[in-house]
A and B are shown apart, each in its own frame.
Chain A
Amino acid sequence: MAAILHIRDLTKQFGGLTAVDAVSFDVPEGGIVGLIGPNGAGKTTIFNLITGVYKPTSGSIEFRDRSIVGLEPFRIADMGITRTFQNIRLFKNLSVFDNVLTACHLSANYSFAEAILRLPRFRTQEKRLMAKAEELLDIMGLLGYKDLIANNLPYGLQRRLEIVRALALNPSLLLLDEPAAGMNPDETEQLMRLIVRIRDDFKLSVLVIEHHMDLIMGVCEHIIVLNFGEKIAEGSAEEVSRHPQVIEAYLGTREEATDA
């Protein structure tokens, strides 16, 4: 399968600290790829580099064979890459519906003048946006909470709303940053099914950072392991879990293990 995202020798330095060190990997079209590693391994930094929040020190990021290095985050979003955040970043004081409706804006192109004069194009497009937001909420089981202020939503559903908001942009690559953080096993199970379902229904490729190994092992077809900014292993769940360096990064060396 062709790669939708192509990362080569990606490096990011903050002053003297190398947060990401010459990392290379691909995300295949339609694939679900897991990005794992201990805290501080540089996972979120890679997300920030892909989405344009940070500029890489060196290396290349190609999305559909086009370099996206140096583009503004909103342009990268426009091209079809979107993400969720480790610490949820919803439009807190807006209703669930308005959160999604706002993100639907890329599906409309009426101008300021058309909006202010309430011209026909404004009306038809606005109707379409509302229908789209409603439909997305319905598919994702949040329609019942449509009028609730996002901040009042239970934690697990806030994470889900963030995914819905990301889907509203019609992305072709979705980056999920610890989507299961703070979820109980039951909710994690639900989330796993959800990730697979949206990949199939929305024809997406997914790159997911997660610490819940059940989730990673359960849904990811390919796993990349980072430690101290470097890629230490890559492969299927089984391959990765047997890799000596991965075991060392997560569990410590054999001597340490016997000590404990």
Chain B
Amino acid sequence: MDWTYIQGILMLAGINMIAVLGLSLLTGFTGLFSFGHAGFMAIGAYVGAWISASPASTPAGLGLPFVLAIVAGGAAAGLVSYFIGRISLNLKGDYFCIATLGFGEAIRLIFNNVNRFGGARGWPGVPSKSSFLAILIADIVAVVFLANLVKSRHGRNMIAVREEELAAQIAGIDVFRYKMISLIISAVYAGVAGVFFAHYMTFIQPKMFSLTKSTELTIIVIFGGLGSISGSVLGAILLTALPEILRAFEMWRLVFYGAAVILIMVSRPKGLMGGMELTPSGIRKVAAERNALREAKAKLLAEGSGEEED
């Protein structure tokens, strides 16, 4: 295996990671499941391609710099998610999930039928701008942004919504607002991932953003562990690389992929990281929790035997 090949896989993993981190905020920290995030990726990809593709190509673009494509792609996905959220965030858990599924498919079908963007044949000639370095920087920014958000009162409010919605409301948390913010941020992440994806593949087609893609993103978040940023990072790398590593097995590789996911979920139902963070403070926290449980058990046992003696 040469470096270009490995680099290619890493870049794809890095792009997936951006989308997965966003979805991790929505699903892992706020407790809302989505099967439509490929739709937001599609919006990012198409808007990004439109901004940066040369006016001479067909379909024609605006020929503007890549940075603008990233900003516009993320913003467009965020804006659309705002309207989707206004309609669907009042729905209870499972129904919201179904609504996102419908939205994702609708977006794909719209791009399938709009000839201005190439229709089902796709959009060739997107400039190859997603460099290894650019993706790396985007991933670092994405992780730092998310980690800082989660460890603040805003992040804690989102977690409270996940844990117990009614209690969160009674604790003065504007549940709808926090769900909305979480959805918008996750959509912006997906949109940015879409821009990088388009400029990595240099060719986009609506069927790249099908339900399968949405499911893949959600599987990675759950595989990595809900409520863990480290889990999402590891999950994105492992599950993007796995099908590539298994490429030698040709048609069996997706079976192995499925088996690997099942294996993890059976042996670690809370996912690879199970809510834990691979940082010094994260490890300290888990150690403190285990310690506290041991102490509490010891205390209860001591009290129990004390009463018997009385």
Interface residues of A (CB under 8 A from B): 51, 53, 72-74, 77-78, 82-83, 85, 89-95, 98, 101-106, 108, 110, 112, 115-118, 122, 126, 129, 144-149, 152-154, 165, 168-169
Q: Which residues of B contact A95 (CB under 8 A)?
A: 285, 288-289, 292
| Stretch of B44-52, B164-172, B215-223 contacting A (4+ beta carbons < 8 Å) | B164-172
6 sampled A-B residue pairs with Cβ under 8 A: A77-B172, A93-B275, A102-B159, A105-B173, A110-B152, A154-B300
In the complex, the answer to whether B164 meets A92 with C-beta atoms within 8 Å is: yes
When A91-B164, A92-B163, A148-B296 are in contact, do A116 and B145 touch as well, CB less than 8 Å? yes
When A91-B160, A91-B164, A145-B292 are in contact, do A77 and B171 touch as well, CB less than 8 Å? yes
Closest-CB distance, A221 to chain B (whole angstroms): 25
When A91-B160, A145-B292, A145-B296 are in contact, do A126 and B152 touch as well, CB less than 8 Å? yes
Q: Which residues of A contact B288 (CB under 8 A)?
A: 95, 147
Q: Which residues of B contact A77 (CB under 8 A)?
A: 169-172
Interface residues on B, range: 20 to 34
For B156, give its contact among A51, A83, A105, A110 (CB under 8 Å): A105
CA distance A144 to B163 in the complex (A): 23
Closest-CB distance, A123 to chain B (whole angstroms): 11
What 7 new A-B contacts, CB under 8 Å, besides A89-B167, A103-B171, A110-B152?
A: A72-B174, A94-B163, A95-B292, A102-B159, A116-B152, A129-B153, A147-B289
Main DSSP-derived SS at the B contact region: helix
CA distance A90 to B181 in the complex (A): 23
In the complex, the answer to whether A147 meets B152 with C-beta atoms within 8 Å is: no
Residue B293 interfacial (CB < 8 Å): yes
In the complex, the answer to whether B148 meets A118 with C-beta atoms within 8 Å is: yes
Q: Which residues of B contact A72 (CB under 8 A)?
A: 169, 174
Q: Which residues of B contact A129 (CB under 8 A)?
A: 153
Closest-CB distance, B279 to chain A (whole angstroms): 15
CA distance A118 to B295 in the complex (A): 34
Residue B283 interfacial (CB < 8 Å): no
In the complex, the answer to whether A116 meets B149 with C-beta atoms within 8 Å is: yes
In the complex, the answer to whether B157 meets A53 with C-beta atoms within 8 Å is: no
Interface residues of B (CB under 8 A from A): 145, 148-149, 152-157, 159-160, 163-164, 166-167, 169-175, 181, 275, 285, 288-289, 291-293, 295-296, 300
In the complex, the answer to whether B164 meets A165 with C-beta atoms within 8 Å is: no
Q: Which residues of B contact A53 (CB under 8 A)?
A: 166, 169-170
In the complex, the answer to whether A85 meets B167 with C-beta atoms within 8 Å is: yes
When A115-B148, A126-B152, A147-B288 are in contact, do A102 and B172 touch as well, CB less than 8 Å? no
Q: Which residues of B contact A148 (CB under 8 A)?
A: 289, 292-293, 296
When A91-B159, A91-B167 are in contact, do A149 and B172 touch as well, CB less than 8 Å? no
Closest-CB distance, A207 to chain B (whole angstroms): 14
In the complex, the answer to whether B149 meets A105 with C-beta atoms within 8 Å is: no
For A149, give its contact among B152, B157, B293 (CB under 8 Å): B293
Closest-CB distance, A91 to chain B (whole angstroms): 4
When A116-B148, A152-B296 are in contact, do A82 and B170 touch as well, CB less than 8 Å? yes
In the complex, the answer to whether B167 meets A169 with C-beta atoms within 8 Å is: no
When A85-B167, A93-B163 are in contact, do A74 and B173 touch as well, CB less than 8 Å? yes
For A112, give its contact among B149, B164, B170, B172 (CB under 8 Å): B149
Q: Which residues of B contact A153 (CB under 8 A)?
A: 296
For B159, give its contact among A94, A103, A146 (CB under 8 Å): A94
Closest-CB distance, A197 to chain B (whole angstroms): 22
Question: Closest residue of chain A to B163, judged by CB?
Answer: A91
Q: Which residues of A contact B167 (CB under 8 A)?
A: 85, 89-91, 165
Q: Which residues of A contact B300 (CB under 8 A)?
A: 154
Question: Closest residue of chain B to A85, judged by CB?
Answer: B167
The 5 tightest CB contacts between A and B, nearest first, are A115-B152, A77-B172, A147-B292, A91-B163, A148-B292
In the complex, the answer to whether B293 meets A102 with C-beta atoms within 8 Å is: no
In the complex, the answer to whether B296 meets A115 with C-beta atoms within 8 Å is: no
The winner among B174, B181, B285, B292 for most chain A CB atoms within 10 A is B292
CA distance A152 to B175 in the complex (A): 26
In the complex, the answer to whether A169 meets B171 with C-beta atoms within 8 Å is: yes
In the complex, the answer to whether A98 meets B152 with C-beta atoms within 8 Å is: no
Q: Which residues of A contact B181 (CB under 8 A)?
A: 112
Question: Closest residue of chain B to A117, judged by CB?
Answer: B148
In the complex, the answer to whether B292 meets A115 with C-beta atoms within 8 Å is: no
CA distance A12 to B173 in the complex (A): 25
Closest-CB distance, B81 to chain A (whole angstroms): 16
For B153, give its contact among A51, A91, A105, A144 (CB under 8 Å): A105
Question: Closest residue of chain B to A157, judged by CB?
Answer: B296
In the complex, the answer to whether A74 meets B174 with C-beta atoms within 8 Å is: yes
In the complex, the answer to whether A105 meets B292 with C-beta atoms within 8 Å is: no
CA distance A153 to B149 in the complex (A): 28
CA distance A154 to B296 in the complex (A): 9
Closest-CB distance, B89 to chain A (whole angstroms): 14
In the complex, the answer to whether A147 meets B291 with C-beta atoms within 8 Å is: yes
Q: Which residues of A contact B148 (CB under 8 A)?
A: 115-118
Q: Which residues of B contact A83 (CB under 8 A)?
A: 170
Closest-CB distance, A164 to chain B (whole angstroms): 12
